[in-house]
Structure 1
Amino acid sequence: MTAEIIPAGDAMERAISLLEAGEVVAIPTETVYGLAGDATTGVAVAKIYEAKGRPRFNPLIAHVASMDMARRIGRFDPLSLKLAEAFWPGPLTLVLPLQPAAGIHPLATTGLDTIALRMPRGFGGELIARLGRPLAAPSANSSGRISGTSAEAVAADLGGRIPLVVDGGPTPVGLESTIVKVEDGTVRLLRPGGIAAEEIERVAGVRLARNSGGAIQAPGMLASHYAPGASVRLGVDAVKAGEALLAFGPHRAAGSEKAVAVKNLSETGDLREAAANLFAFLQALDRTGAAAIAVEPIPMQGLGEAINDRLARAAAPRG
C-alpha cells in the first residue's frame, strides 16, 4: 500500500469514506499532522496503534467539532469550561472525567477513567463535523519519532502503512497541543505545547502546577519521544566535529562553521517561528546522516517551555 496524497480542498469525501470504513487517514491540523481514526470503533483505534507502532499504555486524544460533542464525552467543571471557551478551537487539550455513555472505545483511553479532548481548527474540525463522530488523532509519525508538520514528511514515514494523506500544507503552530487537567481548582500542565502556559494562566486566574512524573495521564508524556536517528545534545556552546547544528537566534555556538549542516529555528529569536520550524528542521538535520545534532540554548519562557520539552525528550536515552 502506498498512501494517496490529496490536497485538503479535494479530500473531504475520500477521507470520510475511508473513516466510515474503519480506516485511518493522516490529516492536517493547526498543530501537527494527525493520524485520524474513528474514536468510537475499536478496529480503527487499533489501526492507529498499529500504524504508529505505539505503546498500548499511551492514551489518545479524542478530537471533537463542537461543545455539544465534547460534553457528551467529557464532564466539564467550571474552570475547564472557561478554558475551552477561551481556547477552542485551538491547540489546547483538556483531560476530563469520562462520561459514562461517552462511546469512546476503551483502547483509546487505555483503561483510564479520563479522556483527553481537543477541538481542532480547519480541515480536521470540518471533517469531524461531517463525520458526526469524534476522531482519535495522535501525531502522524512512527511512535517516538519526530512529528510530521507537512504531508511530505508524513508520507515519507507512514506512506506505506496508511491509505491517505490529506495535504493542507505546512502546519502553522508546528508543536502538539498543550495538555492541562483541572483537579480541585488546580490546573496541572501535563504537556507544554502550542499555547504558552502564561496564556492559560491569564484565563484561568491561577498559576499552572507542573507535572512531577508518575503515571501516564495523557499523550506525549513518555520520557523518550520525538527522537531523530541521530543523538541529540542540548544547550551547546561549542559544536563538535561531525555534528549538525540546530541553531537559535543571531549568535552562533563556537565551531558552528565546522557543523555538517546548520538549521536556525529563528534568526531573530522568535519563539513562535522556532516552534513552527522545530520538527521539520530536526528531520532535515537527521537526513544529513550526522551522528549527533547539537542544539543551541533556547529560553524557557513562553513557547520555549514546549520547545525545550520536545528537545529534552528527543535527547533522552532510547528505551
Structure 2
Amino acid sequence: MSAEILKPDAGGLARAAALLGAGQLVAFPTETVYGLGADARNDHAVARIFEAKGRPHFNPLIVHLADAAAAARFAVLDGAGERLASAFWPGALTLVLPLRPDAGLSPLVSAGLPTVALRVPDHPVAHALLTAFGGPVAAPSANRSGSISPTRAAHVIEGLGDRIAAVVDGGACPVGLESTIVGFDPAPVLLRPGGLPLEAIEDCLGRRVAPRRADDAITAPGQLSSHYAPDAPVALEAATPPPGALWLGFGSGCDGAALNLSSTGDLVEAAANLFHALRELDARAEPGQRIAVAPIPDHGLGRAINDRLRRAAAPRG
C-alpha cells in the first residue's frame, strides 16, 4: 500500500501526528532533508525505521524536538553545547550529548551508546508537526540506507512509498544537506560536516573544533564510509567531462555539463541542488555509465558537499 501524501495544513498535520502516536512512520520536511519520523519513545516504531531503511542497527538516529527547552528532558546540555544550541537552534545543527538515564527514549535511538543526538529543525512544517505531536521524533533521512537523501516529497515516495504510512509534502528543502553534527569528548568534535558551516561554529565558540578521526567508532549518523550513493559509480575532481560520463558541473566554464550545481559558483545553491542533481543523473545513467563531478571548493558548505560526494564515490561494501 502506498503512503498517504498529506498537505502541510492543520488537517494534514493532525493526521501525521496521529499516525506517529499510533507507532507509524511519517516522513516530513526539514530545512536540511526530509526525515523519516517515528515516536522516539516507542521501541517498535523506531525498529520500523531500521526495517524501512535497511539501516545498520549500530548507526544512531537523530531525535528532533520542537524547541530547545525540550532538550534538557533527554540530555545534559551545558557549556559549549548550550552555547551552540543558543546560537544555532532552531537550525541545521545536531548536538551529541550525554543521555539522561531517565530520558525514556528507545535504546535503539542511541544504538546503546550513553549519548543521544538532538536537533531542533528550522522549518515551519517540521515545527508544526513536532508541536502537534508533542514528543520527541527520531528521524533519519527518509531514504533507503546508503542511498541519496531526499529533498522533495517525490524522492521519499520513490524510495519508501510502500514502506511508510505517510509523507507530509512541504515542498523542496531549502538547505538540501543534512545537519552538521558536533559532539564533545569533552572538547567539541566535528562528527559530520553539514548545513551549518564549521566556520560559524568555531566563531561562536571562539576556538577550533577538532575533526573526527577516521578510525573512531560510529557515534552519530552519516559516518559510514559509503553513504548517500546513487546506483551509478561516482568519480570526483573532474575538471573536464570524462569520455562517456555524465558530468555534474560547478561554476562557470562547465558548458558541457549534464547538470550544474550552481553556474555562479554559489555553495549555498550547490548544497540545495546536490541530492536532487545526483538523483536526476542516476536516473539518466545507462548501465555502467559514471557520474563525474567537477571540483568543489573545500570551505564553508563546500566542506559538507565534498564529504557527501566522497561517501557517494566510496567503494560499495
In the superposition, the TM-score normalised over structure 2's length comes to 0.96
Look up the match of 1:19: 20
Q: Is the Cα contact below 8 Å between 1:65 and 1:125 reproduced in 2? A: yes
Q: Is the counterpart of residue 249 in structure 1 residue 254 in structure 2?
A: no
Deviation at 1:12, TM superposition (A): 0.5
Instruction: Identify the match of residue 272 of structure 1 among 268, 273, 276.
Output: 268
Unmatched 5+ stretches in structure 2: none
Q: For the residues of structure 1 that align with 2:97 and 2:174, how far apart are their CA atoms? A: 27
Q: Is the Cα contact below 8 Å between 2:14 and 2:132 reproduced in 1? A: no
Q: For the residues of structure 2 that align with 1:63 and 1:295, how far apart are their CA atoms? A: 32
Look up the match of 1:318: 316
Q: Is the Cα contact below 8 Å between 1:187 and 1:206 reproduced in 2? A: no
Q: Secondary structure at the match of 2:291?
A: strand
Deviation at 1:4, TM superposition (A): 1.4
Deviation at 1:238, TM superposition (A): 3.0
Instruction: Identify the match of residue 163 of structure 1 among 145, 149, 165.
Output: 165
Post-superposition CA distance 1:99-133 (Å, at most 9, x none): 01011100111100000000012222222222221
Look up the match of 2:229: 227
Q: Secondary structure at the match of 2:223?
A: coil
Instruction: Identify the match of residue 152 of structure 1 among 138, 141, 154.
Output: 154
Q: For the residues of structure 2 that align with 1:124 and 1:205, how far apart are their CA atoms? A: 31
Look up the match of 1:309: 307
Q: Secondary structure at the match of 2:220?
A: coil
Q: For the residues of structure 2 that align with 1:77 and 1:312, how far apart are their CA atoms? A: 33
Matched letter for residue 38 of structure 1: D
Look up the match of 2:204: 203
Q: For the residues of structure 1 that align with 2:15 and 2:65, how far apart are their CA atoms? A: 20
Q: For the residues of structure 2 that align with 1:100 and 1:53, how far apart are their CA atoms? A: 28
Q: For the residues of structure 1 that align with 2:65 and 2:98, how far apart are their CA atoms? A: 16
Q: Is the counterpart of residue 36 in structure 1 residue 32 in structure 2?
A: no
Post-superposition CA distance 1:84-105 (Å, at most 9, x none): 0100011000000000101110
Q: Is the counterpart of residue 282 in structure 1 residue 278 in structure 2?
A: yes
Q: For the residues of structure 2 that align with 1:147 and 1:187, how far apart are their CA atoms? A: 26
Q: Is the counterpart of residue 3 in structure 1 residue 3 in structure 2?
A: yes
Q: For the residues of structure 2 that align with 1:128 and 1:5, how far apart are their CA atoms? A: 18
Matched letter for residue 282 of structure 1: L
Matched letter for residue 171 of structure 2: G
Q: For the residues of structure 2 that align with 1:125 and 1:237, how far apart are their CA atoms? A: 41
Instruction: Identify the match of residue 125 of structure 2 among 87, 109, 123.
Output: 123
Runs of 4+ in 1 over 4 A off after TM superposition: none
Identity %: 55
Q: Is the Cα contact below 8 Å between 2:252 and 2:265 reproduced in 1? A: yes
Look up the match of 2:296: 298
Deviation at 1:211, TM superposition (A): 0.6
Q: Is the Cα contact below 8 Å between 2:261 and 2:274 reproduced in 1? A: yes
Alignment of 1:62-211 (within 5 A): 62-121=63-122, 122-184=124-186, 186-211=187-212
Look up the match of 1:57: 58
Post-superposition CA distance 1:244-269 (Å, at most 9, x none): 111000012xxx74x6xx11000000
Q: For the residues of structure 1 that align with 2:239 and 2:268, how far apart are their CA atoms? A: 23
Q: For the residues of structure 1 that align with 2:252 and 2:131, how far apart are their CA atoms? A: 44
Aligned residue pairs, count: 312
Q: For the residues of structure 2 that align with 1:155 and 1:22, how far apart are their CA atoms? A: 19
Q: For the residues of structure 1 that align with 2:76 and 2:307, how far apart are their CA atoms? A: 29
Matched letter for residue 8 of structure 1: P
Matched letter for residue 260 of structure 2: N
Deviation at 1:237, TM superposition (A): 2.4
In the superposition, the TM-score normalised over structure 1's length comes to 0.96
Q: Is the Cα contact below 8 Å between 2:89 and 2:120 reproduced in 1? A: yes
Q: Is the Cα contact below 8 Å between 1:151 and 1:167 reproduced in 2? A: yes
Q: For the residues of structure 1 that align with 2:8 and 2:233, how far apart are their CA atoms? A: 35
Greater shift in the superposed pair: 45-54 or 231-240: 231-240
